[in-house]
Amino acid sequence: MKLYSMKIYFFISYLFIIPILGIAQSTNFGEQFSNAIIIRYQPTIDELTHKGWDHSNSIILHGMEKIYLNTRNPEYLTYIQAFVDSFVDEDGKISALKAELDGIHPGMLCLFLYEETGDKKYKVAATKMRNYLLGTASSSIIFNKTPDGGYWHKNNDHYNDVMTIDGAYMANPFLVKYGIMFNDSLSIETATFQTLLVASRTFNIDSHLPYHGWDYRKNKSWANTITGTSTEVWSRSIGWFSMALADMLESLPPTHKDFQNLLYLYQRLAIGIRNTQNNNDGLWYQLINHKELPGNYPETSGSGMIIYALQKGITNGWLDVSYLEVTEKGWNGLKTFISLYTDGKPLIKSFCPGMGIKDSAEDYLAVRPVDCPSTAAKQHPHGYCAILMAASVMEK
């Protein structure tokens, strides 16, 4: 009787272990997460965020786009298209545009769908996004700028004359890709100017890392009264900025007048990133240059984005092969933060929820990490984006 009971016990235990071993041994996390997202959020990804035509949705689908380009799984294309078609009509008109850089990022999906389907409505929609940001001869620009020409991150008083390095990712890779696809030099020049401007205002040449944001007027509660920079280097803002540089460099011809400036910036940033990788787990922390601070934690969204950006540099020859140790260690560390949710599908742990510039290190660390998905009422998309982006380059 005891032997029979033990057999039953081990059989039941085995049933529970199988899915855990399956996900732990698989390296194909890009597909696992893409499949889980499609099952979890129907009819579109907006069921996760309820943010509409916004980066909160498009950053996930942009990651899925990259998994699609590796796998050519038509379900991924269909899912991306379903979201875009819920906001873009047959004439290319877009509903619910937002006057902030975060609302420009979905334009990347329009460019992708035009390339994949040839449907002109996506080209029309992408052009509307471009014109919405840059203006036309018949319509003025509605996006506010600092006196020296930098886009505010958002068109509201809270961001009055404030640039963030996050914003570089939300708009500039789209503008460069649009400009290359449709021979629009103004889009390209705007993107490179905006990127180099925010870098010139935020980049610390000693640490090789940019601060989270910059206040032209130097009067925000977080702003240095001399430089206007914020006080801290935030992991996900480094992730956004590094991906912006990588994607812009990949689109730009090396002969472009700003290519070498962007490449130099990217390579200096890579030095700062390598110097702040945590030796124990391979990740980058919420405040990446203060790993030793009590309460600091491994931040997987910034880490995944950084892995993507550095691996792009290795593949394209912008970084030497010594950086492989950095990306492989980071990727191996990132995978340890993947677990199973209650539905038996993967979740990503330990990333910072959405937030803006904070006054101090203590304020950044007061924002505690979350998982996605989670049992909480509010869900956060950034973890999905980062794991998909990292997987797209590390699982090829």
Write down the domain spans for the chain: 30-135+142-394
Domain 30-135+142-394 has CATH 1.50.10.10: yes
At residue 2, the pLDDT reads 41
Neighbouring residues of 299: CB distance < 8 A, sequence distance ≥ 6 = 235, 236, 283, 284, 285, 286, 288, 350, 351, 352, 369
Please give the biggest Cα pair distance in the chain.
87
Neighbouring residues of 26: CB distance < 8 A, sequence distance ≥ 6 = 32
Instruction: Say if CB 105 and CB 133 are below 8 A apart.
Output: no
At residue 388, the pLDDT reads 99
- List of the chain residues with pLDDT < 70: 1-27
Instruction: Say if CB 43 and CB 52 are below 8 A apart.
Output: no
Q: What angle do CA 341, 346, 352 make, to 5 degrees?
A: 85
The backbone region for 118, taken as left when phi is positive above 0, alpha when psi lies in -120 to 50, beta otherwise, is left
**Phi, psi angle pair for 155, to nearest 5°:** -85, 65
Place of tokens 């304020």: 363
At residue 27, the pLDDT reads 54
Q: What angle do CA 379, 307, 250 make, to 5 degrees?
A: 105
Distance from C-alpha of 367 to C-alpha of 179, rounded to nearest angstrom = 38
In angstroms, the Cα distances linking 150 to 160, 285, 304 are 11, 28, 28
pTM (2 d.p.): 0.93
Instruction: Say if CB 239 and CB 305 are below 8 A apart.
Output: yes
Alpha-helical segments (H) within the chain: 2-25, 29-40, 46-49, 55-71, 74-85, 107-117, 120-134, 165-182, 185-202, 235-251, 259-275, 300-316, 324-335, 361-366, 382-394
Dihedral angle, C-alpha 127, 133, 136, 142, nearest 10 °:
140
The backbone region for 295, taken as left when phi is positive above 0, alpha when psi lies in -120 to 50, beta otherwise, is left
Both tokens assigned to 303: 């880490």
What is the chain's alpha carbon radius of gyration, rounded to the nearest angstrom? 21
At residue 97, the pLDDT reads 93
At residue 141, the pLDDT reads 84
At residue 140, the pLDDT reads 81
Dihedral angle, C-alpha 248, 310, 356, 42, nearest 10 °:
80
Instruction: Say if CB 94 and CB 53 are below 8 A apart.
Output: yes
Both tokens assigned to 392: 């797209």
**Phi, psi angle pair for 352, to nearest 5°:** -75, 135
Instruction: Say if CB 176 and CB 262 are below 8 A apart.
Output: no
Neighbouring residues of 370: CB distance < 8 A, sequence distance ≥ 6 = 351, 352, 353, 376, 380, 383
At residue 19, the pLDDT reads 40
Distance from C-alpha of 348 to C-alpha of 334, rounded to nearest angstrom = 9
**Phi, psi angle pair for 389, to nearest 5°:** -65, -45
Distance from C-alpha of 312 to C-alpha of 324, rounded to nearest angstrom = 11
Both tokens assigned to 211: 């601060």
* CB < 8 Å & 24+ apart, contacts of 180-188: 180/251, 180/252, 180/253, 181/111, 181/114, 181/115, 182/123, 182/127, 184/130, 186/134, 187/130, 187/134, 188/252, 188/256
Q: What angle do CA 66, 72, 76 make, to 5 degrees?
A: 65
